[in-house]
Chains A and B, each alone.
Chain A
Amino acid sequence: MAAADPTETGETTGVTGTAVAGTATPDHDDAGLEAGLDALETPRRERPSLLTVARTKVLPPVVAVVLVLLVWQLVAAAHIKPSYALPGPIAVWHAFLHQWYLGTVGGIVGTSLGRGALGFLLSVVLGTPLGLVVARVRFVRTAIGPILSGLQALPSVAWVPAAIIWFGLSNATIYAVILLGAVPSIANGLVAGVEQIPPIHLRAGRVLGATGLRGIRHVLLPAALPGYLAGLKQGWAFAWRSLMAAELITTSPDLGLGLGQFLDQGRELSDMPMVLCAIVLILVVGVGIELLVFTPLTRRVLTSRGL
Chain B
Amino acid sequence: MSQATTLTAATAGAAGDAADPAVRLTGLTKTFGRPGTAPVIDGIDLTVDPGEFVCLLGASGCGKSTLLNIIAGLERPTTGTAETHGPRPALMFQEHALFPWLTAGRNIELALRLRGVPKPRRAGIAAELLDLVRLGGAQRKRVHELSGGMRQRVALARALAQSGAADSADSADGADGSGATGAHPPLLLMDEPFAALDAITRDVLHDELTRIRAARPLTVVFVTHNVREAVRLGERVVLLTSRPGRIAREWRVDLPQPRRIESAGVADLSLEITDQLREEIRRHGRR
Which residues of chain A have a CB within 8 Å of any CB of chain B?
A: 1, 3-7, 9, 27, 30-31, 33-35, 37-38, 41-43, 200-201, 203-204, 206-211, 214, 218-219, 222-223, 225, 301, 304-307
Contact = CB atoms under 8 A, between A and B. Distances in A.
Contacts of A301: 101
Nearest to A36: B204
A74 B88 CA distance: 75
A31 B111 CA distance: 26
Interface stretch (B42-50, B51-59, B139-147, B220-228): B139-147
A9 B101 contact: no
A214 B74 CA distance: 17
Contacts of B100: 305-307
Interface in B225-250: none
Interface string B1-38: 11000000000000000000000000000000000000
B5 to A, nearest CB: 13
B19 to A, nearest CB: 27
Contacts of A225: 101
A42 B115 contact: no
A1 B145 CA distance: 9
Interface in B73-108: 74, 88, 90-91, 93, 95, 97-102
B211 A30 contact: yes
Given A34-B134, A41-B150, A207-B90, 16 more contacts: A1-B140, A1-B141, A3-B137, A31-B134, A33-B204, A34-B208, A35-B134, A41-B147, A203-B97, A208-B162, A209-B114, A219-B99, A225-B101, A306-B100, A306-B142, A307-B100
Given A210-B114, A218-B114, A305-B142, A201 B97 contact: yes
Contacts of A35: 134
Contacts of B280: none
A206 B95 contact: no
Given A3-B140, A31-B134, A306-B144, A207 B1 contact: no
Given A42-B146, A209-B1, A209-B88, A214 B135 contact: no
A223 B137 contact: no
B99 A204 contact: yes
B101 A305 contact: yes
Nearest to B69: A203
Contacts of B97: 200-201, 203-204
> When A and B form their complex, which 3 residue pairs have the shortest distance between CB atoms, in order from nearest?
A306-B144, A6-B137, A41-B147
B115 A27 contact: no
Nearest to B159: A207
Contacts of A204: 93, 97-99
Contacts of B110: 208, 210, 218
B266 interface: no
A42 B211 CA distance: 23
Contacts of A9: 137
Interface residues of B, number: 45
B217 interface: no
B137 A222 contact: no
Contacts of A222: 99, 101-102
Contact of B207 (A30, A42, A209, A211): A30
Interface of B: 1-2, 72, 74, 88, 90-91, 93, 95, 97-102, 110-111, 113-115, 134-150, 158, 162, 200-201, 204, 207-208, 211
A208 B109 CA distance: 11
Nearest to B102: A222
A37 B97 CA distance: 21
14 contacts: A1-B145, A3-B141, A9-B137, A30-B204, A37-B200, A38-B135, A43-B145, A208-B110, A208-B162, A218-B114, A223-B99, A223-B101, A304-B142, A307-B100
B141 A211 contact: no
B232 to A, nearest CB: 15
Contacts of B134: 31, 34-35
A301 B141 CA distance: 15
B100 to A, nearest CB: 4
Contacts of B93: 200, 203-204
B114 to A, nearest CB: 4
Contacts of B146: 42
A214 B113 CA distance: 11
B136 A34 contact: no
Contact of A209 (B115, B144, B204): B115
A214 B114 contact: yes
Contacts of B138: 6
A4 B144 contact: no
Nearest to A2: B140
A301 B144 CA distance: 13
A37 B204 contact: yes
A38 B150 contact: yes
A200 B147 contact: no
Nearest to B110: A218
Contacts of A304: 101, 142
Contacts of B144: 43, 305-306
A203 B74 CA distance: 8
Nearest to A211: B2
B136 A6 contact: yes
